[in-house]
Amino acid sequence: MYNTLKLETVYIMRQYKQEMTFDRADRMQAAKQKKFIQFFENAQFHLDAKGAEDSAFYFEMIVDHLKDGGELDPDRVQRILGL
């Protein structure tokens, strides 16, 4: 009986760890997305400060795309930048 209970506990713990893994992956992806947004916002700010409004506009387009839930897809660059 003790062995059966121990096996059930191990199975439940493994199942719990897998669920935690998916949750952790979601949090990591959200943190990565936030870093991208912060980077592009910072680039936009500095470009505006240097007088490069045209370049800053494209960074703003990327920020808007990421905030709307988009991803940086190399095949969709023209669409993301509005070209």
Count CB atoms within 10 A of the CB of residue 59. Answer: 21
Domain that holds residue 36: 2-81
pLDDT at 76: 86
- By CB atoms closer than 10 A (0-12, 13-18, 19+), residue 64 is middle
- pLDDT (tens digit, 9 = 90+) per residue, 22-76? 777 778 778 888 998 999 999 999 999 999 999 999 999 999 998 988 888 888 8
Rounded Cα gap, residues 49 and 32, in angstroms: 26
16 against 48, higher pLDDT: 48
- For the entire predicted model, the pTM comes to 0.66
Cβ neighbours around 9 below 10 Å, total: 10
**Secondary structure of the chain: what % helix, strand, coil (to 5)?**
85, 0, 15
Query: How many structural domains compose the chain?
Result: 1
User: Is it the case that residue 20 has pLDDT exceeding 70?
Assistant: no
